[in-house]
Amino acid sequence: MYRFVHVLCLVLMAAFLGGCSAGESNVAQGNRDGILHFGNGSEPQGLDPHVVTGVPESKIIDALFEGLTRKNPWTLEPEPGAAASWEFSDDRRVITFHMQPEGRWSNGDPVTAHDFVWSWRRALDPAMGNLYAYMLYPVENAEAYATGKIDDPALVGVRALDDMTLEVTLNAPTPYFLQLMDHYSSYAVHRETVERFGKATDRFTRWTRVGNIVTNGPFQLQNWELNRRIVVERNPHYWDNDAVYLNGIVFYPTENIVSEERMFRVHQLHYTADVPLNKIPAYRKMADTPFVEAPYLGTYFYLLNTERPPLDDVRVRKALSLAVDREALTRNVLYGSNNPAYAITPPGTLGYQPPQLFTHDPEEARRLLAEAGYPGGDGWPGLELIYNTSESHRKIAVALQQMWKDALNITVTLSNQEWKVYLDSVSQMNFQVARRGWIGDYVDPNNFLDLYITDGGNNNTGFSDPVYDELILQRAPRAATQEARFALFHEAETRLMEQMPILPIYTYASKHLVHPSVKGLPPNLMDFVNVKYIHLEDVPLTEFELE
Amino acid sequence: MWRFIAGRLLQAIPVILAVITVTFFLVRVAPGGPFDSEKAVIPEVKAALEAQYRLDLPLGQQYLAYLQDLARGELGPSFKYPGRSVNELIAAGLPATAELGAYALLVAVVLGGLAGVVASLKPNSAQDYIPMSVAMIGICMPTFLLGPLLVLVFGIHLEWLPVAGWGDIPGDKILPSLTLGAAYAAYIARLSRAGMLEVMSQDYIRTARAKGLPEWQVVTRHALRGGLIPVVAFLGPAFAGLLAGSFVVETIFQIPGLGRFYVQAAFNRDYTMILGTTVFLSTLIVLFNLLSDILAAWLNPRLRAQYGEA
Amino acid sequence: MTSANLTDTAQVEQGTSLWKDAWRRLRKNRLALFGLAVLTVFIALALLTPWIAPYAYDAQNLDLGASPPSAAHWLGTDIFGRDLLTQILYGGRISLAVGFVATAVALVIGVTWGAIAGYVGGRVDAVMMRLVDILYALPFMIFIVLLMVVFGRNLLLLFLAIGAVEWLTMARIMRGQVQSLRQQEFVEAAVSLGLSPATIVRRHLVPNALGPIIVYTTLTIPSVMLLEAFLSFLGLGVQPPATSWGLLISYGAETMEEYPWLLIFPGAALTLTLFALNFLGDGLRDALDVRGSGD
Amino acid sequence: MPLLSVRDLQVDFTTRNGRITAVNRIGFNVEPGQITAIIGESGSGKSVACYSLLGLLPTPPASIESGSAVFDGRDLLQMSERELREIRGRDIAMIFQDPMTCLNPYMTVGNQLVEPLIYHRKVTRAQARERALELLAEVGLRDPQATIDQYPHQFSGGMRQRVMIAMALINEPRLLIADEPTTALDVTIQAQILELIAELQRKRNIGVIFISHDLSVVADIADDIVVMEKGHVVERGDRQAIFQAAEHPYTQKLLAAIPAGSKPPADAVREDLIQVRNLCTWFPQGRGAEPLRAVDDVSFTVQRGEVLGLVGESGSGKSTIGRSLLRLVPVTSGEVLFDGTDVTGLAGAGLKQMRRRMQMIFQDPYASLNPRMSVYDTLAEPLLLHGIATRKTVEQGVLQLMDDVGLARAFVRKYPHEFSGGQRQRIAIGRALATRPEFVVADEPVSALDVTIQAQILELMLELGREYGLTMLFVSHDLAVVRHIADRILVLYKGRVVEQGTGDALFNAPQEDYTRQLLQAIPGRGLL
């Protein structure tokens, strides 16, 4: 018996030792071969620019495809992409794009204006079911076509004057329109390829698979293993191929951020999609830390259902908001990784500064609550706060729950809901207070402020103010200058925060671990990665010591 | 024997059908649809999508249509991953999960069986208490805790083993298998200990001793077989459990397995995917229960005879 | 056989009732007593918590944050600066309640179901066990989400949900037991006395199947406690600031590197309970096994 | 000089109930080529004594306090485990009581058979197998070639015991210890096995220790007899001495216990209480297969107040008849008239009524009592169920029953495991009588008991039979026992009645061969 035991122990030990990773780490290998190992958060739904939504998808699609323009990762200013140059008409309603003379698809075909015309029509076609169709709404008749009011795609304001010239007509001057040109919903797809595998508007075809897909970006798809990795390699036909440093990128669906951080720590990743909150302090302490954080174009806030008591009373809404010590929250619960927010729009979007009408003021909060008829919390009917299941949402909710109790002596019950249930409750406005976050699709206050127009699809608060609607929908678009426009936005946002249908909490921050060997991957407001600028330096790998 | 197997398989059909039906309607009752997203969906778009997935048909028709597809082995297109069929997704996820499950089971049987047998040889001694105590911890140690702990020790501090991945770096399959196998190893340890104690008190063990066989031969030749039969009977449910429960381990170690798909599907209301995986898993459960029964019969001549005639 | 004969001669002539007898033997089993003691203490603590807890269970101190054990906070504090000892005490109330009540539910359903299926046998048995198979195969998460939505969220529901899941295995074990027991002559004797099946199951079968059931029960309670954590995480069950050991452990697991104490202490509480239960369970099984005392 | 000589051997046990001396300074010799029988009822320590010699007692709880056991010059008790192992199965072999449980159900008999040979003699598997085949043939297994690769469950009890014997003899030991080798077997088989052992012993001229509770079993084969009681040797001598001139009262008691003589013939013929007509009870053998015809077209009657004996070896269907009458197994066809009403048709209240009037006493007093119910509960249950006693009077009723079956009232709160086999059987009888039945089926009620106890129980049953005016169907494989208690006897063979008549009639003028076999098989007939 015992002999038996011994033998087995030996076998197991052997298995362990044999298993020990003697091999060279991903990062070392990558630095040598110019391959970037990229933590991408999760498995992409797919790679069809007109079908998918979501950040992980965008990272891969941005590597494979290229829109008319492509942002500079430092300035976020549009730089030539599929279009070499463009000019605006005097009324700034018509934009003419001149295509890259050397623009090529990965199979060698030229990239023409017709490709974009066809692709945009595809993107807008209702049958396509493209959730991001609205990104093209500034284009003339785009909305009408996407919502089936007209069914002649020719009426949509995008034409190819010739192979190399694309003319886009807008409903109204849209300052941020160029930014939309590197959002994947405005990308071009390769017509023959798409049609070889099915109808243009078919969601189920295999055209995006390895071997089938044809793209016009700096990289082309090499390998796609579900839930394991997606590998893209240099696209030799890319017009600006010489400017591209990387030979390839490996995207990992790192769902579990704890293990993602650990993979980074043992040099299995160059870049992580996120960083566990509680790891931040340790990384901050590190000399030349790999931890990179930057304000992110998004706001974390609570929706207040203005149609349900007690929140139908603006004083109660204000009281709740004033009672929240955002400084303490961000400092202690979020480890100072985010900035307090006092309005819906993140500060510094292209120079726009949102109003700050209030600060943490328990006194005032108590006064307002008393005014509203709940002095010292007497007669408080109770309030329920819903949030979708997640560690960080829970932490914030727990903290605020206590702040409200301390400051206002009112009880707020928490209820976390499974994702889809939560979405259902929110869209049905079946809640009193609901956690919410909004990430900008493009850098412009409008992207946040038009959420709260009356009956806006993402309003979800019952907030309705004709003046506000007019400011956002009528006057701002027609503003002569950016300053005038921002002034109108400021006025609108002030009205919004006076009504307080939402309770802003903090401004998002992008948080990544970036290996010292990675250059040209700067943090920016859009958390935008421009793969063209990334290069790797073969620095010696050092241990990341967390104490 | 064959008659017995066939009979069991026939019994399974109504079970699986029932599972399909209940699941089909359960998922439809659950709030939130597959297309709900954080940003409001344009009604026209939603309509178009629902049309593409036959969701515009009355529920009854959808059900029948699904059964028809199923009869053809078609599990339908996935909602979450447009352009991928559920068959494809399962095919993609199964290998890793099956392999993981197999290794975990191996770990469970070898470690658990060994611990149990060793413990049973000297009941109520240190040789009994120590392995059994470890087993108890194994039972109460949730995988979401054990996994990260092992990674911390062997992956980060000792740097012996990779912290994640599956088949990418040599040795990256060890920790997941251990993590998943631990709990089952603990159960098997208890089972085999009980079984061995039972057998060791049998008369025929005394006969074996009377023959003058040395103790280790008495154990290996005479006791082990009978003592491990309860373990064998447990293997079927265990493996099914491993498959269904592997998702935690898969997410911890970034393993491209079925479990992740299954759970994601539930969260995403990916109707076809939920149904597909459920059908698949319940079929597996049935099969493995059958398998372990057959194995048990094979080990036990008396049962073998029964099934033989039945 | 030999030792049986021996004890016959050595039998001390005293009437001992099943439970008295069991208790007499349990008292001799040091481990079992230890288990009993631990459980009693924990239950007592749980009952007295509101009076003995050093802090209010939701009292936060954001600026203190997570701090290691100290004089002020014996077991340290979590990231909200809440006293961990207090958390564990209050968590224990819920965990113990969930553990025992849910297991009790599972026990009642499972034992009844299994006993009936095993005793009646034949077609009834087949149908009942198929039903168990079906429930086994259903996607648990969807099931839970539905419960959560349909009934809203409350602890009672949590008990039921968990019980509804855990009874299946219980039923299988019971069925196996009964099937082997009903072969025995004393059951035949009961039949020939004209007892009704219900009575036979209640008086003759269930008591004799206790052993394995007790053992499995002791294993179920802790796993139920962890399941509760999972459900709470999904949104069914306890909501912050209320907590449970399961939740404390799962939170602690996420910060095991930074704040180990947040994992160690709740973990210890659960493990201790588990061992206590296990020792007590094995002890009870041996103590209740009247045959064991003879042969 | 003796082959084995045991001197003041003492073995103690530590149990939950304290320390007890199982074997108290006993001594005896075993001469080569002689059979030494050790006789005593269960608990007398006879088995313990022998196991202790080979170190087969689990220590703890057992501990050998003193003594010596010299086997060709060496003291077994001083040997190390290793040395003992060398002796076990080579020089000293054993046969155990229950062949059903003593063979490994998971190994073919062949593999079990050759083990000792291969281990001790280091021969090849092939050679060993050859030897095994010869031996199997010698112990009378038909067609060893075919059966050697079968599993124990495919053998009958008798055949298994033959395999056990072969296994014991395969290394040509010089001492064979046979522990109640025939107690679990039918008389007919028992006779054969005794025959076999005696023969092999003679042929090989080896020493044998034959352990039994029944003097009559060894009456024909033993050379020397050692009588043990409560751990002491109370008498020792050669067969003659013991059977002719036993001195110790306990030995005399053992002799007296051997069932002999027959019941005085019943007086005038009484009316039939039970009429069984063309009873068939078949058991399905799985799909397609022929059903097992356990009871095949049996007809007989039982008169009020008589004891009808039912004799046959196991598998003859005798127990099934009893169970069929009581509706414990489904009847295939035929009818059973109880006091005019057909039992086979009954259900619900009618059946419950009938159950009150017909009761059963089972063979195994260990299995037939619910281990978790005290005597009180066991006896009270039927009383309350059938409204024979009320909550108030039930205690009286129970105590009355205790008196009737001769159990001290003090025991009423105790549990089955606290009683000896005989006492348990008394409880079982009490439970059967509790419903005041008119008819009782006794299924081998004494075959699991020591002879001495057996005699007492038989007495008790006769007594109670008279007292309660019982009609009884007494099922047994032991003709002697049946003759002792029954008015008429039915001989059963393969599910059919082959002969019937009064005990004397059968004994003095058996008509059928099978009946003669049964008679031949009765052990120690010479004594009767």
**Does position A2 have pLDDT exceeding 80, yes or no?**
no
Cβ–Cβ contact C189 with A under 8 A: no
For A292-306, D279-293, D471-485, which range has the lowest pLDDT when averaged over its residues?
D279-293
Strands D18-30 and D4-15, by their bridges, are antiparallel
Encode pLDDT of D304-342 as tens digits. 888 899 988 877 888 889 888 888 888 888 988 888 888
Residue of chain C minimizing CA distance to B13: C130
Confidence at C153, pLDDT banded by 50, 70, 90:
low
**CA A229, CA A170: separation in Å to the nearest integer?**
40
Residue B299 with chain D: CB contacts under 8 Å: 106
**CA D430, CA D378: separation in Å to the nearest integer?**
9
Residue A416 with chain C: CB contacts under 8 Å: 235, 239
Amino acid at C176: G
B139: closest CA among C169, C221, C108, C285?
Answer: C221
Which of B117, B174, B257 lies nearest to residue A19, judging by beta carbons? B174
Encode pLDDT of D23-73 as tens digits. 888 888 888 888 999 988 887 888 888 888 888 887 777 888 888 888 888
Mean pLDDT score, B29-41: 81
| Residue C190 included in any domain | yes
Encode pLDDT of C218-237 as tens digits. 888 888 888 887 777 777 77
Mean pLDDT score, A442-468: 91
**Does position A110 have pLDDT exceeding 80, yes or no?**
yes
**CA D450, CA C287: separation in Å to the nearest integer?**
30
pLDDT of residue A38: 96
Which of D98, D116, D167 lies nearest to residue B203, judging by beta carbons? D98
Cβ–Cβ contact B184 with A under 8 A: no
Which of C59, C62, C149 lies nearest to residue A328, judging by beta carbons? C62
pLDDT of residue B310: 41
**CA A452, CA A448: separation in Å to the nearest integer?**
8
Domain holding C67, by residue range, is 34-288
Confidence at A400, pLDDT banded by 50, 70, 90:
very high
Residue C189 with chain D: CB contacts under 8 Å: 360, 362, 368-369, 428, 431
Residues paired with A220 in a beta bridge: A233
**Does position C239 have pLDDT exceeding 90, yes or no?**
no
**CA A341, CA A324: separation in Å to the nearest integer?**
11
For A276-285, D218-227, D255-264, which range has the lowest pLDDT when averaged over its residues?
D255-264
Mean pLDDT score, A96-104: 94
pLDDT of residue C139: 67
Cβ–Cβ contact C154 with A under 8 A: no
Identify which has the larger pLDDT, D507 or C141.
D507
pLDDT of residue B216: 85
Cβ–Cβ contact C255 with B under 8 A: no
Identify which has the larger pLDDT, B296 or D379.
D379
Residue C204 with chain D: CB contacts under 8 Å: 370, 373
Confidence at A323, pLDDT banded by 50, 70, 90:
very high
The separation between the first and the last C-alpha atoms of chain D, rounded to the nearest angstrom, is 36
Which of B165, B171, B215 lies nearest to residue A20, judging by beta carbons? B171
| Residue C12 included in any domain | no
| Residue C20 included in any domain | no
Cβ–Cβ contact B241 with A under 8 A: no
In which residue are the tokens 């008409």 written? Answer: A89
CB-CB under 8 Å, C149 with A546: no
pLDDT of residue D526: 62
Identify which has the larger pLDDT, B118 or B169.
B118
Instruction: Report ipTM for this prediction.
Output: 0.80
Which of D15, D61, D360 lies nearest to residue C189, judging by beta carbons? D360
**Does position A307 have pLDDT exceeding 90, yes or no?**
yes
Residue of chain B minimizing CA distance to D95: B207
Residue A283 with chain C: CB contacts under 8 Å: none
Query: Are the C-beta atoms of C11 and D410 separated by less than 8 Å?
Result: no
pLDDT of residue A3: 45
pLDDT of residue D16: 65
Residue C136 with chain B: CB contacts under 8 Å: 282, 285
Encode pLDDT of B4-23 as tens digits. 788 888 888 888 898 889 88
How many C-beta atoms lie closer than 10 Å to residue C3's C-beta?
19
**Does position B170 have pLDDT exceeding 90, yes or no?**
no
pLDDT of residue A496: 95
pLDDT of residue C290: 60
Domains held by chain C: number: 1
pLDDT of residue A275: 93
- Which D-chain residues 60-79 have CB contacts (< 8 A) with chain C? 61
Name the minimum distance, in Å, from the CA of B44 to any CA of chain C: 28
**Does position B308 have pLDDT exceeding 60, yes or no?**
no
Mean pLDDT score, A516-531: 92
| Residue C26 included in any domain | no
Confidence at C12, pLDDT banded by 50, 70, 90:
very low
Percent of chain A predicted with pLDDT > 90: 68
**D and A: touch, per 3+ CB pairs < 8 A?**
no
| Residue C2 included in any domain | no
With H, G, I as helix, E, B as strand and everything else as coil, classify residue D29: strand
Report H helices in C84-184. Answer: 84-97, 103-120, 122-137, 140-151, 155-181
Percent of chain B predicted with pLDDT > 90: 11
Percent of chain A predicted with pLDDT > 70: 96
| Residue C295 included in any domain | no
Encode pLDDT of B242-252 as tens digits. 877 788 888 88
pLDDT of residue C2: 34
pLDDT of residue D392: 84
Percent of chain C predicted with pLDDT > 70: 86
Residue D121 with chain B: CB contacts under 8 Å: none
| Residue C19 included in any domain | no
> In this structure, what CATH number is given to the domain that contains residue C62?
1.10.3720.10
pLDDT of residue A540: 84
Q: Please name the helix (run of DSSP H) or strand (run of DSSP E) that holds residue A249, with its range, or none.
A: strand A248-252
**Does position C144 have pLDDT exceeding 80, yes or no?**
no
CB-CB under 8 Å, B30 with C146: yes
Encode pLDDT of D121-134 as tens digits. 888 888 889 888 98
Task: Count contacts between A and C (CB, < 8 Å).
Answer: 68
Mean pLDDT score, A219-228: 93
Q: Over chain A, what is the mean pLDDT?
A: 90
Identify which has the larger pLDDT, A285 or C159.
A285
Residue of chain C minimizing CA distance to B141: C271
How many C-beta atoms lie closer than 10 Å to residue A480's C-beta?
8
Cβ–Cβ contact C140 with A under 8 A: no
Encode pLDDT of A403-424 as tens digits. 999 999 999 999 888 888 889 8
Identify which has the larger pLDDT, B177 or B144.
B177
Cβ–Cβ contact C258 with B under 8 A: no
| Residue C23 included in any domain | no
CB-CB under 8 Å, C191 with D428: no
Mean pLDDT score, B124-142: 82
Identify which has the larger pLDDT, D98 or A382.
A382
Mean pLDDT score, D174-190: 85
Residue of chain D minimizing CA distance to B302: D153
How many Å separate Cα A289 from the centre of its chain?
Answer: 25
Task: Count contacts between B and C (CB, < 8 Å).
Answer: 85
Q: Please name the helix (run of DSSP H) or strand (run of DSSP E) that holds residue B129, with its range, or none.
A: helix B126-140
Confidence at D155, pLDDT banded by 50, 70, 90:
confident
Query: Are the C-beta atoms of C132 and C164 separated by less than 8 Å?
Result: no
**Does position A513 have pLDDT exceeding 80, yes or no?**
yes
Confidence at D269, pLDDT banded by 50, 70, 90:
low
Confidence at A529, pLDDT banded by 50, 70, 90:
very high
pLDDT of residue D295: 87
Residue of chain A minimizing CA distance to B153: A262
pLDDT of residue C149: 65
Please give the structure tokens belonging to residue C112. Answer: 């009844």
Which of B46, B48, B163 lies nearest to residue A259, judging by beta carbons? B163
Residue of chain C minimizing CA distance to B286: C133
pLDDT of residue C13: 38
| Chain B interface, Cβ < 8 Å to C | 11, 14-16, 18-19, 22-23, 26-27, 29-31, 133, 136-137, 139-140, 142, 144-145, 148-149, 152, 262-263, 266-267, 274, 277-278, 281-282, 285-286
Cβ–Cβ contact D160 with B under 8 A: no
Name the minimum distance, in Å, from the CA of A539 to any CA of chain C: 28
